[in-house]
Structure 1
Amino acid sequence: MIERPLDLDAVQAFIHIAELGSFTRAAEAMRTTQAAVSLKLKRLEDRLGCRLIERTPRSVELSARGAGFLEQARALLEAHDRALAVFAGARRRLTIGISDHVAGPELPALIARMNAQDPQLLIEIRIGSSGDLLQSYDRRELDTVIVRLHAGRNDGELLAEEPFGWFAGPGWRHRPDEPLPVATLAEPCGVRVMAGRILDAAGVPWTEIFVGGGVTAVAAAVMAGLGVSALAPRMLPFGAVDVGARLKLPDLPRLPVLLHSRVKDGRSRDALAALAAAFKSAAARG
């Protein structure tokens, strides 16, 4: 018979480790240290009398008992949050801007992560170019933005540095006697400007063949065989091919992703920390 109640912080630590696959990311999500997260997990495992996480130098995986406990752990925290919601006042609101070059296929999972961290938080997300979002942030129209590094800005928290490449559809071939056809985002777009400057510096003739209002549209043009585009592999549909080496195109740099935030409220900051940690994990896998 279990006598002592479970430590909810320890249960939360276990869930973060299991879902993010990393003690480091779990610590970032909880705004604490890796040592503190490890201690919370140990106390929980001691309390339950079994190992929940199998940890090696290269991987973090659920044990069989941990996999069985995960859904129960989630349900426990959800019940706790519902109980607290009875006494909560008006819903808090968090308005986040995310660059279209950053908001990849993981976005639904990232939103779910924030909701799980704080179900009573009203989340509003706007997608746009990094430049436009930073202007809105500076006008205090957004609480937080996640954007590519922008010229003239050296503030913000570094979340990741993502690789970029020249991608095309699987059957696309370039005619050597024609300028390189490039699919880009509409202005203003820092990646568009960067790619054009790098091609010009390398003396590669090019022309815009397609201008899209979002990365999804540009990726669709690439897969339709219109031309190439400078994109992060994480953003690509299955089947896209890196043609940079074959066409002897100049290398593209890794581009930083930065978090800018003025959020002060503790619970909102916890939800934002969970979002940042989840994004880092997604970018590392991509």
Structure 2
Amino acid sequence: MKPTLDVAAVRAFLLVAELESFTRSAEALGTTQAAVSLKLQRLEAALGKRLLDRSPRAVRLTAEGAAFLENARALVAAHDLALTGTPRSRPRLSLGISDHAAGPELVPMLQQFQAIATELVLSVSIGLSRDLLDRYDAGALDAVIVRQEASRRGGETLAIDEFGWFAIPRFRAPAGGPVPLATLASPCGVRALAIRALDKAKMPFIEAFVGGGVAAVAAAAQAGLAIAPLARRFAPVGLVDIGPNASLPRLGRSKVILHAKVSEAAKRAALRTLAAAFRSASMSK
């Protein structure tokens, strides 16, 4: 008699393959690392193949694991379709992400969602933390990933970012003149952070460039127009932190927080997956 595959174990395999971590996968599934490891061992035993190479520092797909990947995704998708019957409108998970939080982690987050949450549609809004929190409080968003607000309590910490003053290596601010800034428009929290630091240090500044998104702000810095206050994980190749050499004040750190209010099990599971993917990607930077 041929063995049957446990769909929950296949889902766990997909998570481990994407996150390359038993710890992050257990976090996403709301279980323990030992439970995930046991599921994978049973799956490998059922297939008669070694799917993963495990080491203290990393988890990698074997050649057989890579070959099984697409079949695993197809199996999970077919299973979910069989449960729901004919294709129908899928529930929507609405997520707001601060432009100063949705850095390189956005791609692995979306990859994880596509691989795991096949029964949901993900709707993503990018904007300023304050605006997104207002929409979240009004019930227009299921969850938000934002910069920590001083007046806001609760939420789940996903990352702690250190900020710097980024510019091209040859950039020279006018001696004794105002510091030329590239920022987002008010009420951007990072803009406020930079201005508070300059005011406290009694350093004059001008807004040399105001961008509609962090990508535009970084581009202005890359073009040599101004200095951009950015989290280190956001800084594109070619930009350096000129703060110490230019005697600019320290900007300190800021937390990235997940706020969520969902009751559906599928949405809660998807948010656990997204949070684990965010942490995994941010820690690798």
Q: Could you say what secondary structure the match of 2:77 adopts? A: helix
How big is the shift at 1:221?
0.9
Which string of whole-angstrom CA distances, capped at 9 and with x for unpartnered residues, describes residues 44-80 of structure 1? 2222334322222222222233223223222222232
CA spacing shift, 1:116–1:85, aligned 2, 3 Å: farther
* Counterpart for residue 45 of structure 1: 44
Q: Where does structure 2 lack aligned partners over 5 or more consecutive residues?
A: none
Alignment check: 8 A CA contact 2:15 2:116 kept: no
CA spacing shift, 1:21–1:163, aligned 2, 3 Å: farther
Q: One-letter code of the match for 1:26?
A: S
Cα distance between partner residues in 2 of 1:46 and 1:199: 61
Which string of whole-angstrom CA distances, capped at 9 and with x for unpartnered residues, describes residues 246-267 of structure 1? 2232332221111111111011
Cα distance between partner residues in 2 of 1:245 and 1:190: 22
Q: How does 1:141-180 map to 2 (within 5 A)?
A: 141-180=140-179
Q: One-letter code of the match for 2:213?
A: G
Alignment check: 8 A CA contact 2:98 2:147 kept: yes
How big is the shift at 1:26?
0.6
Q: TM-score, normalised by structure 1?
A: 0.92
Alignment check: 8 A CA contact 1:162 1:283 kept: no
Alignment check: 8 A CA contact 1:105 1:235 kept: yes
How big is the shift at 1:89?
5.3
* Counterpart for residue 57 of structure 1: 56
Identity %: 54
Cα distance between partner residues in 2 of 1:165 and 1:51: 45
CA RMSD of aligned residues (A): 1.9
How big is the shift at 1:123?
2.1
Q: How does 1:103-118 map to 2 (within 5 A)?
A: 103-118=102-117
* Counterpart for residue 253 of structure 1: 252
* Counterpart for residue 18 of structure 2: 19
* Counterpart for residue 181 of structure 1: 180
Cα distance between partner residues in 2 of 1:78 and 1:88: 11
* Counterpart for residue 70 of structure 1: 69
How big is the shift at 1:154?
1.3
How big is the shift at 1:85?
4.0
Cα distance between partner residues in 1 of 2:200 and 2:13: 50
Cα distance between partner residues in 1 of 2:273 and 2:11: 11
The answer to whether residue 199 in structure 2 is matched with residue 200 in structure 1 is yes
Cα distance between partner residues in 1 of 2:218 and 2:278: 21
Cα distance between partner residues in 2 of 1:244 and 1:27: 40
Q: One-letter code of the match for 1:59?
A: A
Alignment check: 8 A CA contact 1:115 1:271 kept: no
Cα distance between partner residues in 2 of 1:217 and 1:55: 41
Q: TM-score, normalised by structure 2?
A: 0.92
* Counterpart for residue 138 of structure 2: 139
* Counterpart for residue 273 of structure 2: 274
Q: Could you say what secondary structure the match of 2:244 adopts? A: helix
> Structure 1 stretch 183-192 or stretch 244-253: which is displaced more?
244-253
CA spacing shift, 1:202–1:13, aligned 2, 3 Å: same
Which string of whole-angstrom CA distances, capped at 9 and with x for unpartnered residues, describes residues 85-128 of structure 1? 42565421221111111122442442332233222322221111
* Counterpart for residue 212 of structure 1: 211
Cα distance between partner residues in 2 of 1:108 and 1:82: 25
* Counterpart for residue 235 of structure 1: 234
Paired residue total? 285
Alignment check: 8 A CA contact 2:99 2:128 kept: yes
Alignment check: 8 A CA contact 1:104 1:234 kept: yes
Cα distance between partner residues in 1 of 2:198 and 2:57: 38
Cα distance between partner residues in 1 of 2:137 and 2:83: 34
